[in-house]
Structure 1
C-alpha cells in the first residue's frame, strides 16, 4: 500500500504525463501541418514557374512579331505578323482560363450547351488515340442533353478522364466505359471526397475502367495539384486537378469508386439546365448609330473604340462609369446601345446598367469582361443580356452586336 506522500506524488505525476502526451500530439500535428504547407508552397511555386514560363514565351512571340511589323513596309508580311499576334494572344487567354480552373474559380463562360453533342464529338476525337486492344463502350443514355457549361472545359474534362483510364488499363486486356445517365437526387448524399451532393436533377457522366485501381493511401490525394503516380515523362499531375476545378466551375459534384486491381469509376453530376431561364429578345431597330462605350482601362478603351468605329459606329467613350452615367442621363435618347465593362472600380458595369435602366427602361447594352463571377453571369444572361469575354476580335464583336438587333 502506498504511503500518503507517495500517493500525492503519483496523483501529481498522472496529469503531468497526460499533459506531456497532449503536447507531443500537438507538436506532431504542427509538424504535419508545416509539412503539408511546405508541399503546397512547393506546388504553388512550381505552378507559378510554369505560368511565368508560358507567359514569357507568349509575350516574347508577341513582342517579336510587333517588332517585325515596325521594321517592314511589306503589307503581306505585316498581315502575317498581325495574324500571329492574334493567335498567340488567344493562346494566352486560354492559359488564364486554365489558371482559374486550377484555382477552382468560377467560370464566366457558362452558357446553355448540348452535352450530348460535346460528348459525341469528344469521343470521336479520342477514339483514335485509344489502343485497339482495349474494349471501349460509349453510350449517351441520359434523356436530358442541355447543361449550363463551357464546351472547351467539358471536352478537356472528358479527355483527361478517358486518358487516365487508358493509362490504368495499359499493358493488359482492358475495358473502358463512357456514358451518361439521368439522375434525380431526393436527399443529400455524401460523396467519396467529403462533398455533399445536393438534391436536384442531374446528368451523370461516368468514365469507368477495369484497370489497376487506386490504392487507399493515394485515393484522397488524386485531386491535389501536381500529385501523380506516373513517371515525370508521362504526366504532370494536373489532369485530375483540372477535372475537379471544371466540375466545381459547372456547379457540379464528383464521386470516385475504386478498388485495387478491380478498376475505377468516376461519376460527375452536372445540373440539368432549365430552358425556362432563357429570355427571348424582341427584334429592335435603332435610329441612331451612336454607341456609348465604358471601360476603366484607357488603353483597352481606345482599342475597343477603334474596333467599333471600324464596324461603322460612332463612339462616345468613358473610362469612368460616373462620367458615363452623367452623359447618359443627358443624352440617352441619342444612344443606340452601350458596351459596358463588367469589372470597374467605384461602380461595376452591372450597377451602371441598373442606374441607366432607372433613366430609360428600354436601354440596351451588352457587357464585356476579363473575368466575371458565375452568379453575375447567370443573372445577366437570364435577363437576356449579352456578355463577351476579353480578349475578343472584331469578328467576335460584330457577331455579338448583331444579337442586339435580333
Structure 2
C-alpha cells in the first residue's frame, strides 16, 4: 500500500476512535442520569479512558478527568430511586478507582513503549555507527591514523558527544599518549594526536576491572583527582571510557566526553565497549602488519602451513627462495615429516644451500624458517681451505727451517766441489778420463744445486736471483735429460722454437718446472703414449681469449694475463688418462698426489705453481678423462737487448777482495776469478779484510763476501767497508740469507746478492757488470 494511503487510513481510524470515545462518554452519561441508583453509577468510563491511550498521555489524562467529572455529575443529576445513597457512592468510588487505575496502567504502558522505541532507535543508531566504522576500517589503503580518526568521529556523533580521543598507555604506566582525536567544535586547549595525558591510577584500576567506566558528572567522581583536574582543564563534565587491549603488555583506551553532565545508559556503555574492541583490533592488526612488514625485510624465509600442508603465509624471502612449479611457488620440505616439536634439516633448492627449521603450531600446522647458508657454506669451505693452506704453510715452514739449517754448509761444500771440478775440466784434455770425471762431478753438483734450489724456493725461505733465460734452450736441455728416462712404449717429442724466446727468470727454476711437468706427464701414460713439449710465442688472440675465460669442468686458469705484455708459451701435453674435475681443483695443492705414497710426494705441481707465480706468468690447464692433459704455461717475454747480460765477462785486472771463512771456498773463488782476468786477494776473516780497506780505500774495486761468518756477518762487513770506501762494489755470496731478504740486503748496502753454489760467470757479472745490464 502506498505511504499516502496508509497515512489516510491511519487518520480515518484515529477520527473513528475519537468519535467513538466521545459518543461512548455521552451515551454512558445519559444512561447514568436516566436510570435509578445502582444501575450505572459511572461503571464503563474506564474503557473509554483505555481507548484514548492511542492519542497519547495528555489526551488520556484529559479523558480520565472528564469521566471523573461525569461520574460525580451523574450522582447529582440521577433520579432518587434504586439502591441506597451509600451503595451508590460505593459503586461510584469503584468506578473512579477503575478510571485512574486504567489511566496509570496505560501511562506506564506508554512510557515502556517509549523507552523500547528509544532503545531500539539508539541500538539502530549504534549499529549503523559500528557498520560505518567497519567500512572505514576495512579500507586497507588508508592509514591507521585515518581509520582511528573515523572511529572517533563516528562514535562521538553516535553518542552525541563533544569530542572523543584514542590513547595508548606508555611503558612507564603513568601516562597515556593520544593517538587520534576528534572534536565537534575545534578549540585550542583540547587534546590532539601526540598529546601526553597524565594517567589516574584509580581510574585505570577501575577500567582494568570493569573494562568500561561511565562518569555522569566528573565533579562528583570520588577519588579520581587527576580525572577531575583534566576534566576542568578541557571543560568536560561527563565521560565514557573503555579499555582497548592491544596485547598482553600494552593497552589503549577510548574516551567519549560531553561538556554537560549526562546519565549514560546501558546501550551507550555497550556501544563504547564494542568501539573499544574495534580499536584494539585495529591496533593489533597494525602491529601484525608491522611485524609482517619487518619479516619481509629479513633475509631468512618464513612460512606457515596448516595441518593439511597448505601454505598460509610466506614472507618475501621465502617466496624468493621457493622454487617455481606449474601451480605456483614450491616451498622446500624435508622428506621426513615433523614428528617432534622442533626439527632442523639441510636441503638444496635451485642451486642454493638451505637450512630449514620447523616448529609445531598449536593449531596443528607448522612454522618454518628458511636460512640461505650458501654464502656461509662457501665461507666455511674457504675457511677450511685457508686452514689447509695454513697447515701446508706450517709444513713449508718446517721444511724451510730444516733447509736453512743445512743450506749454508751444504752450498759451501757444493760451491767448492763445483769450482775445483771446473778447474780440473779446464786443465784436462777434452775426452780424457780426468775430463770425463770432472764433467760427472759437475753434473752431480748441478743436480745437488737444483735440489737445494727446489726445496728453498718451494719453502719460500729466500728470494732467488732472476736473469735472462732462453726458454727454447731450457726445453732442449730438459729433453736431453728426460729422454733416457722414458719407459718402453712411450715417446718424448721436443719441438724447439725457431726463434729465440727470452724470458726473465731463474734458469734452474724454469728447468725444474719443465722437468716436473714432463715427469708427471710421463707417469700419466702408464707405459703407453707420448709426451710433447714445445715452446713458441703466444698469439694475441690466445691471450685475449684467456682474459675472458671462465672455469669449465675440463679447464682451469691459474693466474690471469696482464695487459700490454707479450708472452712465451710453453706447452707440455700427454696422451694419458686425464684428470677428473675434482683432481683439477686440487692439482696444485701441496702434498696432494694421485700416485700413492710410494710414487709421489705431492710437491711437483706445487713447485710448478710457485715458479709460475714468481715469474709473473699464468697457466691454462685442459684435461678430460680418457683424452690426456695439456699444460699451457705463459711467461712474459723480455727485450732481446737484455740478452747481452749473458755474454761472458772478463776481469781485465779488476781488483777483488774475497772473504769466506771456508778455506776451500775462498781458494776456489780466487783461482777461478784469476783465470777470468781478475786480480784477487782471499782472506778467511772479515777483520783483516776491513783492515786492508781502511788502510787503502782505493786498493780494491770489488768486495766478494760470505754472509755467515764468526763474529761479523757479511752484511756488517759490507756496511763498514762502504763507510770507508763508498765506491767499493760489494757482492754478497751466501748459501742462505737467514733472517734477511734479498731486497733488505740490497737496501742495506749490497750491490748484488748471489746464492751458493753459483755459476762463475754469474759471479763475474755481479763483480763487474756490463753497462746497462742491471
Q: 5+ residue gaps in structure 2? A: 1-137, 141-284, 302-368, 412-442, 550-555, 672-679, 770-774
- 1:37 counterpart = 2:402: no
The answer to which of 339-348 and 99-108 deviates more is 339-348
2:661 pairs with one of 273, 284, 302: 302
Q: Is the 8 A contact 2:454 2:512 kept in 1?
A: no
**Residue 237 of structure 1: SS of its match in structure 2?**
coil
Q: Helix, strand or coil: the match of 1:200? A: coil
Question: C-alpha offsets along residues 217-255 of structure 1, whole Å, 9 cap, x if unaligned?
Answer: 332321111122332222221111111112233333322
- The verdict on how the C-alpha distance between 1:260 and 1:365 changes in structure 2, with shifts beyond 3 A counting, is same
Structure 2 CA distance, aligned partners of 1:378 and 1:58? 21
Kindly state the Cα deviation for residue 155 of structure 1 after the two structures are TM-superposed.
Answer: 2.8
SS in 1 for 2:579: coil
Q: Distance in 1 between matches of 2:558 and 2:450?
A: 31
CA 92–205 in structure 1, closer or farther in 2 if over 3 Å, else same: closer
- Residue equivalent to 2:622: 257
Structure 1 unmatched ranges of 5 or more: 63-86, 294-300, 380-384
2:634 is paired with a residue whose SS is strand
Of the three residues 160, 163, 168, the one matched with 2:524 is 168
178 and 17 in structure 1: CA distance in 2 versus 1, 3 angstrom threshold: closer
The alpha-carbon distance between structure 1 residues 158 and 377, as it changes in their structure 2 partners (threshold 3 A), is farther
- Greater Rg by CA: 2
**2:592 alignment partner in structure 1:** 227
Q: Are positions 1:245 and 2:610 aligned together? A: yes
Q: Distance in 2 between matches of 1:31 and 1:338?
A: 54
User: Which fold has the larger relative contact order, with Cα–Cα distance below 8 Å and residues 6 or more apart in sequence?
Assistant: 1
Residues 113-137 of structure 1 deviation map (CA, whole Å, 9 limit, x = unaligned): 4433332232133223323323442
Over 3 Å counting, the alpha-carbon distance change for 1:117 and 1:37 in structure 2 is closer
| 1:13 aligned residue | 295
- Retained in 2: the 8 A contact 1:285–1:405? no
Residue of structure 1 in register with 2:756 after alignment: 390
State the Cα distance separating 1:284 from its structure 2 match. 3.1
Rounded to whole Å, the distance in 1 between the matches of 2:401 and 2:653 is: 47
Aligned residues: 357
Of the structure 1 ranges 95-104 and 237-246, higher mean CA displacement relative to structure 2 is found in 95-104
Contact 2:572–2:631 under 8 Å retained in 1: yes
Q: 1:157 to 1:209 in 2, by over 3 A?
A: same
| Residue 633 of structure 2 is aligned to residue 268 of structure 1 | yes
Alpha carbons 1:185, 1:200 under 8 Å: kept: no
Tell me if the contact between 1:144 and 1:182 (Cα under 8 Å) persists in the aligned partners: no
CA distance in 1: counterparts of 2:768 and 2:574, whole angstroms: 49
Q: Rate the CA distance shift 1:285–1:50 in 2: closer, same or farther, 3 A.
A: closer
CA deviations on 1:274-312 (whole Å, 9 max, x unpaired) are 3423367675325x7x7275xxxxxxx533798259867
Match of 1:197 in 2: 561
Q: Corresponding residue for 2:484?
A: 128
Q: CA deviation at 1:140?
A: 0.9
The answer as to 2:717 corresponding to 1:338 is: no
Render the CA deviation track for 1:136-155: whole Å, top value 9, x for unaligned: 42211341144444343333
Q: CA deviation at 1:160?
A: 1.5
Q: Quick check: 2:470–2:503 contact (8 Å CA) kept in 1?
A: yes
CA RMSD, Structure 1 to Structure 2 (Å)? 5.1
1:284 alignment partner, one of 640, 652, 655: 652
Alpha-carbon distance in 2 for matches of 1:38, 1:334:
56
1:154 aligns with 2:522: no
Partner of residue 119, structure 1: 475
- Match status 1:181 vs 2:536: yes
* 8 Å CA contact 2:300, 2:370 repeated in 1: yes
Map 1:72-91; keep pairs closer than 5 Å. Answer: none
What secondary structure, in the 3-state scheme, does the structure 2 residue paired with 1:335 have? coil
Deviation at 1:335, TM superposition (A): 2.6
C-alpha spacing 1:331/1:94, structure 2 compared with 1 (3 Å): same
Residue in 2 that maps onto 1:28 = 377
What is the rounded CA distance, in whole Å, between the counterparts of 2:624 and 2:613 in structure 1?
A: 25
**CA offsets per residue over residues 28-76 of structure 1, 9 Å max, x none?**
35533442233224434444566678889999x99xxxxxxxxxxxxxx
1:1-44 deviation digits (Å, cap 9, x = unpaired): 99545433322333456398678556535533442233224434
TM-score, normalising length: structure 2: 0.38
Alpha carbons of 1:53 and 1:91: their partners in 2 closer, same or farther (altered >3 Å)? farther
CA contact (8 A) 2:536 2:568 kept: yes
CA contact (8 A) 2:650 2:764 kept: no
When residues 120 and 397 of structure 1 are mapped into structure 2, their CA distance, relative to the original with a 3 A threshold, is closer
Shift of 1:206: 0.6
The Cα of 1:205 is off from its aligned counterpart by 1.3
Q: Distance in 1 between matches of 2:723 and 2:641?
A: 27
- 2-side partners of 1:307 and 1:345: how far apart? 16
